[in-house]
Structure 1
């Protein structure tokens, strides 16, 4: 008589970057515990993130539709309770997941410790030291459930085969590909766009530059950049999320703000150079498996209150351009050094 695999429900509803950060942890989980079965409760839009994880399925939470409000969460719990979950890993730990917990049958329910107290101390200036990373916090939830994880030797998927649509968009250019995602949710997290123009101008001389973003305002700005330079392709708004992931997996390096695109690239095993304005990697949101020197930091001598907040939504007047204290040539040199390192590794 065969024994049913232990089935774990993982809750992480949003935001994009936080959901993407679960992927390397879940990949390690199913590799190190191949008899497990995992269901991820998240927005249906994020389903492509979990492709290739054979023991992982996605259950769509329609929190703005049929699962909205307390009654909607009760309905969602009834749907989920049709499964026999061994345990529930709450990687979100917000009011919605806490309410859901009250309706679910499973007794083994562990929520992430987000370290709110330590993060408050970091942003208030009382301490300035690296906090536990979000990936480690996710892993600790599984350890508490009895599944300790080793994240030190990650395995990543091979670059995807691009479909005809993506190939037409990228053209016949055979140069190294650099992805650039210049936007973030808040201005204080962004590299000033006029300086990013200078970075793109220099990089596009030797490489193909692919631009990523979302929303009509960002798309319009990226279209304008595309028109100004050769070897620059705006990807935003032209591909599905899954197709964008295929393109990202084929990049030689991604240049991103402290935002979701950094984490998507990292979960696919792509090297990521990040630009940090009013936020700081010490808060634990650096992309997965990236060298420390790939994080380019605003000058804390000029802007001593950094990090001003965890999410970049709060900062003193004048801090909105803090990332601009990083010279464009620093970004260019770092990108070129990453590509050189990659070439050296592939020729050995």
Structure 2
């Protein structure tokens, strides 16, 4: 543990979006419990809006494809960061890039604590010949341990969520709830092993649309995703497609005002949860035991594929690997089950 109290901490988390979002509850807890602390988050420019208006938290944008690219670029980045009078570094990423930065900060004898990603334990978890199946520490616990070693212990119960943001004019132009509950659907994920089959998701949206009780906002990105969501927007009268129409900051304002988010084991789930939005997640070949469940969401909000039928689940941490015959694991989660769960949660809000 670092014994000398520090006042300016650099928190490093460059990617991915979901992992960046998962830093928010921890940082909120730290600055609330230790109001003398200022935190600068080193992240990519795209994710900077996540940290807007958090007291005592600012963002330094890493230009990893430009002036901070490569070894010399990282040296330049170190010099720029050192000029901010950093007292200690909380490396919440622990990759080659941040490990190089660690060596530079050693030159100034600035404490640099790296997150323990638990790589060996995660490798054991996805081993089909595993001898035990128990939950690993959550990402929030792993992040908090870094601050604990810096002398700022923080527990899960002391972490927090962001306040609702005003819906921007651009976001308002997309929706017309007319007394309906605003719910989000983010049907995509980085890997197919984490994505609910689109024909089945269409059935979910059709069922939600038919109730006429909900305004459904569709989230995604990329040309093919936008094409699918645009089709659903046309097909279902209570659907609005946000993909490709809003800035990231505008999307966050909209997400913060949702009554519920339906998502995969993906970044959108974590974006919703960091605002305290009830979040239903659908899990394929990944599993909550790896520690990536959205913040402060009840266990029953996670809908899991059938491990009795597919005992090798989880087959990978990120959903990018699965054995033959495991491409249809999500078909064990019926659209009716998802719709029932959403209706059940929203009913409690009446």
The TM-score bracket by the shorter chain reads over 0.9
SS in 1 for 2:89: strand
Aligned to 2:164: 159
Aligned to 1:346: none
Aligned to 2:52: 51
Distance 1:275 1:162 in 2: 27
- The reply to whether residue 147 of structure 1 matches residue 148 of structure 2 is no
- The reply to whether residue 120 of structure 1 matches residue 123 of structure 2 is yes
SS in 1 for 2:243: coil
Cα deviation digits, residues 7-59 of structure 1 (max 9, x gap): 00011010000000001110111001001010010101111101121201111
Cα deviation digits, residues 136-188 of structure 1 (max 9, x gap): 10001000110001221544333222222221210253201110000000111
Asked whether the equivalents of residues 190 and 321 of structure 1 are also in contact (C-alpha less than 8 Å), the reply is no
Alignment of 1:163-312 (within 5 A): 163-205=168-210, 206-312=213-319
SS in 1 for 2:100: helix
Cα pair distance change 1:74/1:158, threshold 3 Å: closer
- Report the alpha carbon displacement of residue 5 of structure 1 after superposing the two structures with TM: 6.9
Q: TM-score, normalised by structure 1?
A: 0.95
Asked whether the equivalents of residues 188 and 315 of structure 1 are also in contact (C-alpha less than 8 Å), the reply is yes
Asked whether the equivalents of residues 30 and 159 of structure 2 are also in contact (C-alpha less than 8 Å), the reply is no
SS in 2 for 1:157: coil
Asked whether the equivalents of residues 253 and 270 of structure 1 are also in contact (C-alpha less than 8 Å), the reply is yes
Aligned length: 340
Asked whether the equivalents of residues 181 and 256 of structure 1 are also in contact (C-alpha less than 8 Å), the reply is yes
Asked whether the equivalents of residues 199 and 331 of structure 1 are also in contact (C-alpha less than 8 Å), the reply is yes
Aligned to 1:136: 141
Cα pair distance change 1:108/1:214, threshold 3 Å: same
